[in-house]
Structure 1
């Protein structure tokens, strides 16, 4: 079934690497026009720009620090100039954090929350007037929001906060015909073994019903589903993409 993504106008944050990169290219392959935000002006961002151009005109890669209001407004301005409005917003920016609770400093706590929660608030707030009836907001969280994670109190708490943000925002924007959902990946293999020691990666892989780690393309598929017409009556939900842990 066609998800009706051709011609959609998409803004995606954290687009130069991993899940964001694969998702941005998947939208372009589906016929959407993409503005992808990134933070560092590096080879990843430059190669994404080249790959998007190979898929057609109109795509744009924009440098902006979306943990700040100024950065979020820069991205919103770029989306206005390039797209004129938005059919899809994907809040994908996020960082990891691992430390025993007693070693989590206030600076580290704020770093994790600014990337994993505040960025979603700032960008969504900045583009609110660009979202029309039928638009979709998709937040990328984590399945640890439900389970918690050893040495990850700040990370787990931030992802749980994003789940609450999603459910409440769905109620706030529903009267405008705007849907808001969250994709919650399990451990995602953006590099072999997800960059973990082999025994750790093997243990997590064995916990999944499907016997493998999540891949960026698995997350991208869920994001595109929640952005398309076939999910038009789904809002306020969390779609777990964790292989059945």
Structure 2
């Protein structure tokens, strides 16, 4: 029995990187997956095609999550699709979509701050609210946060603040949606590898692998496995929790 057999999941920002890994892993574990993208439609269709090649069901849904109504429309569309077999059904939401620009805090504009907050935090609020309206007991919501929620990095003030708020949103939502049988958790990744990262940021990759107890970068599949666990029956008594997936970096002393 696969861990997510019979589930219908919506993964935001699923056209590449971590979101792609989550969507594929959910499908491997038996879920039907609504693959969300904002503009990368071709990449999202490629993810959906790979899911269908596994024998699972997928649909591509486009939405701008900076718009509250866009979030609600997306969730409604995913529920109405219902895995292609059960219209009105949505059992899992993974709020993965986000941006990570760099900008020194001195000189950062309010518009630059707001862009990150709207994408990384306000979308989580709106999508979670919409999902909770259509999920029944047993539903799960997982936000992708970051270890930067508690370990800020230079030029990431807007990103770190948004991710810290995402962690607290999950705890608050777990408290309020728990009586409805809906669980809400976060996964906080460390540095996740991507194509070209070692070329673009060699000193950072070297510093990370030297510091991490497990001595490697993370992979999208590492984050995806954590999300599968939290959406599965194995986590049926876990809510309001932040699951750190960072190869042990957070355990390293900072003094």
Fold-level similarity (TM above 0.5): yes
Q: Is the 8 A contact 1:92 1:139 kept in 2?
A: yes
Q: CA RMSD in A?
A: 1.5
- Residues 1:176 and 2:180 aligned together: yes
In 2: Cα distance, 1:30 partner to 1:106 partner: 42
The residue matched to 1:137 in structure 2 has which SS? strand
In 2: Cα distance, 1:184 partner to 1:231 partner: 17
- Residues 1:63 and 2:62 aligned together: yes
Aligned residues: 244
Q: Gaps spanning 5+ residues in structure 1: where?
A: none
Q: Is the 8 A contact 2:185 2:239 kept in 1?
A: yes
- Residues 1:241 and 2:245 aligned together: yes
Partner of 1:201: 205
Partner of 2:216: 212
Q: Is the 8 A contact 1:8 1:88 kept in 2?
A: yes
Q: Measured at CA, do residues 195 and 161 of structure 1 come closer, stay the same or move farther in structure 2, by a change above 3 Å?
A: farther
Q: Measured at CA, do residues 195 and 10 of structure 1 come closer, stay the same or move farther in structure 2, by a change above 3 Å?
A: farther
Q: Offset of 1:57 from its aligned partner?
A: 5.4
- Residues 1:46 and 2:52 aligned together: no
What TM-score, normalized to structure 1? Answer: 0.95
Q: Offset of 1:192 from its aligned partner?
A: 4.2
Pairwise mapping of residues 50-129 of structure 1 onto structure 2 (< 5 A)?
Answer: 50-56=49-55, 58-83=57-82, 84-129=88-133
Q: Gaps spanning 5+ residues in structure 2: where?
A: 83-87, 250-255
In 2: Cα distance, 1:210 partner to 1:68 partner: 40
Q: Offset of 1:17 from its aligned partner?
A: 0.6
Partner of 1:132: 136
The partner residue of 1:144 within 131, 139, 148 is: 148
